[in-house]
Chain A
């Protein structure tokens, strides 16, 4: 893991709780105490009602692919060996959408609205990434 060659998350006061959650394998988002809106990206103000009264909640890690792109060009050398790889905007059951990767299936099997679940990937001692894989059939 010391050889990790891709960009690392930039942690700030807004996003620290999210990344600590990932390390604990929990998908944590901010939830507005006034209107209940669950939001991402993290921010001090609720984009729905402008309240600053906020809780962090643990979400289910279940969602569906809102949209996706299959990268065939590595814009950063760290991704060269992954080509082609899938970047997706995943819509969580609780509402927020998260840019992430779809793993565990071929790129040409990914579809919009496909159900997915979080799949944790430890990348360094400090960071774990929330990626997603197709929901296994029951």
Chain B
């Protein structure tokens, strides 16, 4: 069983963990994780065309999924572009609406052999491919903040193992600690080139009715933060057809999903893993 649970909202444990990550930097008032991702996002704004104009599509698009998901923390809170711009700065260039939630709860996924899974009550989802790549280097010295991050080689490995191309992916469940993480991950996966994100995201690409649905539970920005289990559990539920109003397919005017690409990453873009799942 692969599980994650945390009472991060009702205790100060998540906050304490993050604040104690880099004591040398705390001297200068620098705290992870939002501070580190703000540094990465700012450099990206310098390196190619990106910024709030791009990220607003991610925050708003994912919220539309959350508004279809009664389990999402932001289920009853719509988010418009105006709301996005009104949301306060945390560590500029990141606003509150660019940051993931801190939540209480957990998710678990059971992994077993395909043979055993045949006898289970729920239809199983198959793992087609996996990949990892870890540039590791600390944010201070990192050259990968604006890509390619570990996402590039990680996805290449997973796609090769699955024997498919990016064009075969029907939807993505992307680790979204911050909006910029979603942009740089999809960019490194090859969905668009550096600086083309804004054009790719606009017209509702990732939203209900869009051609490449992303983070269909609302993701960590609008559903709940359970580390890599937020994307992995949502991809599994979608492929099993257990997602109710947000179910990919006719209900949300999207392609019925056969194959979903999931990501996870750690620290400030220092580790990355990709998992490709499919319907049996």
Residues of A within 8 A of B (CB): 6-10, 15, 40-41, 47, 66-76, 78-79, 82, 84-85, 87, 89, 96-101, 107, 112-113, 129, 131
A78–B19 CA distance with the chains assembled, in angstroms: 13
Contact among B23, B29, B140 for A10, CB-based, below 8 A: B23
Q: How many A-B residue pairs have CB under 8 A?
A: 98
Identify which of B15, B25, B29, B38 gathers the most chain A CB atoms within 10 Å of its CB.
B29
Contacts A68-B39, A72-B89 given; indicate if A41 touches B24 (C-beta within 8 A).
yes
> A15 CA to B42 CA in the complex, in Å?
28
In the bound complex, do residue B29 and residue A79 qualify as a contact, i.e. CB atoms below 8 Å apart? Answer: yes
Note all chain A residues with C-beta closer than 8 A to B140: 40-41, 89, 97-99
CA distance A70 to B140 in the complex (A): 16
**B199 interface hit (Cβ, 8 Å):** no
With both chains docked as a complex, state the minimum distance between the C-beta of B269 and any C-beta of chain A, in angstroms.
Answer: 13
By beta carbon, the residue of chain B nearest A40 is B140
Q: Which residues on B sit within 8 Å (CB–CB) of A68?
A: 39, 42
| Contact size range, B | 20 to 34
What secondary structure prevails in chain B residues at the interface with A?
mixed
Residues of B within 8 A of A40 (CB): 140-141
Q: What is the CA–CA distance of A102 and B145 in the complex, to the nearest angstrom?
A: 21
Smallest beta-carbon distance A91→chain B, Å: 10
The answer, yes or no, to whether B191 is at the interface (CB within 8 Å) is: no
Instruction: Indicate the member of B39, B42, B43, B89 with the most A CB atoms within 10 Å.
Output: B42
- Which residue of A is nearest B40, CB measured? A67
Residues of B within 8 A of A66 (CB): 43
Contact A89 B90 (CB under 8 A): no
Which of B34-51 touch A at CB < 8 Å?
Answer: 35, 38-40, 42-43, 45-46
Residues on B lying within 8 angstroms of A by beta carbon are 15, 19, 23-31, 35, 38-40, 42-43, 45-46, 88-94, 138-141, 145
Whole-angstrom CA separation of A52 from B35 in the bound complex: 32
**Can you spell out 18 A-B residue pairs with CB atoms less than 8 angstroms apart?**
A6-B27, A10-B24, A67-B39, A67-B42, A69-B38, A69-B42, A70-B91, A72-B89, A72-B92, A75-B35, A76-B26, A76-B29, A87-B28, A87-B30, A99-B25, A100-B28, A101-B28, A113-B46
Q: Are B19 and A76 in contact (CB under 8 A)?
A: yes
Smallest Cβ-Cβ distance to B29: which chain A residue: A79
Q: B43 contacts A99, CB within 8 Å?
A: no
For the complex, what is the distance from the CA of A41 to the CA of B25, rounded to whole Å?
Answer: 11
The listed residue with most B CB atoms (<10 A of its CB), out of A41, A75, A97, is A75
Given known contacts A67-B43, A71-B35, A84 and B29 CB-to-CB distance under 8 angstroms: no
Q: Determine the residue in chain A with the shortest Cβ distance to B145.
A: A67
Tell me, in angstroms, the Cα distance from A126 to B91 when the chains sit together.
30
B138 in contact with A70 (CB, 8 Å): no
